[in-house]
Structure 1
């Protein structure tokens, strides 16, 4: 099981003042030195945090897994195939959303993905992951497309009240089992933090990459980035 750190909000802080710091590439280096297996970034259409120049610098500096989160636009596909990260995670993207809100609805995108998106990405060695809620129908359609991995959207679980959280964990567990049975990697991310991560790891099997960003970067304001990354790794080691 691998920890991938999303460094988007280091760029958010940099962009707030336009001073050039803190540098998300330096943050990525600290995370990897602390033991993270790789780095996640989301290049959005409005460039609200990560910028094009960051993408190319990350490609040069990251030694572990580099996960490019993106909408399936022609612009993003061209940038992705140019830098050739290890992993491309396709996510829904709304202009007004504060963060990614839920997984892809496969019935609404499958024709476009089959005819336009996957043929372009399959010309490369980039692994393709789809960001999905733990719905069996969506997972099965992803397998039909030939996805290499599914990143399970854990935000609903993370934001649920205690009574509903067990239900969401059950959905995630069943989703992970189905993904594994269909021959795809099981990744997970969104809304995870030091408090809810143990419940996820205890319940959901076959996890390969766990992506954590906002909570980790926020805690690092108080603890420092190295200590915070190691705190997450200590939790994950208990469930390895």
Structure 2
């Protein structure tokens, strides 16, 4: 359908998993895509496969992130859509957690999202003026409703912060015609995850969904496509759960 024909997109954390599925789906829908990832090989490999541009970046590095965002935006000739997917998964019992562990997940999640959103929004504002059409779209990928199971208090806190920052950004950027929404995947089957080859955990997690299965990366990518398209022009500050009904528990 080419729902994103000609739109210029940056996907952070786009080298594999959900991010790669989003980048691939957007490219198939006619978008010009730049993939940012901490793994240079993953970014370059996907970029070659989908006809995009790949950039290696350490998203915990503020200056480096700004520079790569500027380079990618310049290569695209502007920016219409930003997808903030980068993050880090860590496990630690609450009583054993060190403060530095909390900082790490915030650096690669919430703080990186702030930096990329600032650069993207300034570009969107500079290239266009508000009109009947949205000037830009920002999509932030968080966890399932900002919640998490045991051993992931720091991860849950960082994703809840992503949701709060999404609402604040929606409020401030709305007058410029920019929508900001949050995408909240549940458990997603990822071929890169060794646990996905173990049917025991997969079956247990699948039982949490009324649909009886876990999400595929493509399920999340199609929801992101909706938020990136003109179909979602009147949605901002919202959190869309793609969790197969797991948040009903």
**TM-score range for the pair, normalised by the shorter chain length:** 0.3 to 0.5
Instruction: Give TM-score scaled by structure 1 length.
Output: 0.39
Instruction: Give TM-score scaled by structure 2 length.
Output: 0.38
